[in-house]
């Protein structure tokens, strides 16, 4: 079994015709289990949760239109899961919970992209990295990741070491391992899965999320995994999965999670062809 649960179709319209391009690519890659996880901030229905200026101008769509596309596709026999990628902001748990319980999602990806008003992975805010102490940023990032896991609101934690994106990485390996341990512990305790995401290979850091040491730590704590590409175009669905599967196996993972109506089931990681 292979999954690709982290796909954005936002660069095109919410039509089945556009979605079919992604379906075709999933099929080409032998991915049976896949779903769309649009950024929650894109939808007018999340205006009361996400408030900053960067997000506001992008909040142009309605969740209804997105949902309708998924349901229409299913009527046409396309096996697509209905997901969402939700930004985690500490203190917004109640609003987030209410929102995610209002729609029939198959899974919720929780992601930390923001440290207060700073989008840590945004090119246009990259200069902020040079103004801060790298270790402090990492600590703030992992604080948020841990409270996101502890909230228990999310099925999957997205790209759990996104903070490495621009290669501002502390050299202190003891420090890193301490951060990894507390992240893995909180994810395990709340039963949140993580994704092995090939998106990092397409970013300045040039490596999979999470780092092999972080993935090993998660494995040690029995944190379940899914495979994801974080594709923003059809060509990126299932991209570099040979590398993701190789890493999963190397660390010891033999199983993968599948989500339906927010219930997880475990399947063997694809045994052949990789």
Interface with Zn ion, residue 161, by CB under 5 A: no
Partners of 85 in the beta sheet?
39, 109
* 87 in contact with Zn ion (CB under 5 A): no
- State in angstroms the smallest separation of the CB of 29 from Zn ion: 18
Q: If binding is defined by CB under 5 A, does position 111 make contact with Zn ion?
A: yes
Strand partners, 196: 227
Half-sphere exposure of 59 (CA within 13 A, CB side): 16
- Using rule CB under 5 A, residue 230 touches Zn ion: yes
Structure tokens at 31: 């991915």
Q: Distance between CA 229 and CA 200 in Å, rounded?
A: 9
Cβ-closest position to Zn ion: 111
Of 235 and 274, which has the nearer Cβ to Zn ion? 235
Q: Which stretch binds Zn ion (CB under 5 A): 71-79, 132-140, 156-164, 174-182?
A: 156-164
* Burial (0-12, 13-18, 19+ Cβ within 10 Å), 182: middle
SS3 for 144-192, per residue? HHHHHHHHCCCCEECCCCHHHCCCCCCCCHHHHHHHHHHHHHHHHHHCC
> Which part of the chain contacts Zn ion (CB under 5 A), choosing from 28-36, 57-65, 107-115, 182-190?
107-115
| Contact range with Zn ion by CB under 5 A, out of 97-105, 171-179, 218-226, 228-236 | 228-236
Interface with Zn ion (CB under 5 A), residue total 4
Q: Which two tokens stand for residue 178?
A: 């301490």
Minimal distance, residue 228 CB to Zn ion, in Å? 8
Judged by beta carbon, residue 230 or residue 236, the one nearer Zn ion is 230
Contact call for residues 235 and 4 (beta carbons, < 8 A): no
Give min distance, CB of 75 to Zn ion, in A: 26
Interface with Zn ion in residues 190-219 (CB under 5 A): none
In the complex, the residues that contact Zn ion under the rule CB under 5 A are: 85, 111, 158, 230
């Amino acid at each position: 079994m292979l999954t690709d649960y982290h796909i954005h179709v936002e660069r095109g319209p919410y039509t089945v015709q556009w979605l079919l391009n992604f379906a075709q690519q999933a099929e080409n890659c032998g991915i049976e289990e896949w779903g769309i996880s649009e950024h929650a901030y894109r939808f007018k229905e999340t205006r009361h949760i996400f408030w900053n200026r960067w997000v506001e101008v992008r909040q142009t769509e309605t969740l209804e239109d997105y949902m309708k596309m998924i349901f229409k596709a299913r009527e046409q026999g396309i096996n697509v899961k209905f997901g969402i990628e939700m930004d985690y902001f500490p203190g917004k748990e109640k609003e987030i919970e209410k929102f995610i319980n209002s729609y029939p999602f198959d899974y919720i990806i929780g992601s930390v992209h923001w440290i207060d008003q700073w989008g840590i992975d945004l090119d246009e805010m990259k200069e902020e990295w040079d103004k801060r102490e790298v270790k402090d940023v990492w600590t703030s990032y992992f604080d948020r990741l841990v409270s996101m896991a502890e909230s228990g609101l999310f099925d999957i934690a997205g790209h759990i070491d996104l903070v490495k994106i621009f290669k501002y990485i502390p050299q202190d390996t003891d420090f890193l391992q301490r951060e990894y341990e507390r992240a893995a512990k909180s994810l395990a305790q709340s039963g949140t899965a993580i994704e092995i995401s090939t998106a990092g290979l397409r970013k300045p850091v040039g490596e999979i999320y999470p780092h092999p040491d972080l993935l090993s730590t998660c494995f040690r704590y029995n944190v379940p995994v899914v495979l994801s590409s974080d594709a923003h175009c059809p060509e990126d669905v299932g991209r570099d999965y040979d590398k993701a599967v190789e890493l999963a196996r190397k660390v010891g993972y033999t199983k993968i999670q599948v989500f339906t109506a927010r219930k997880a089931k475990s399947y063997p990681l694809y045994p052949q062809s990789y």
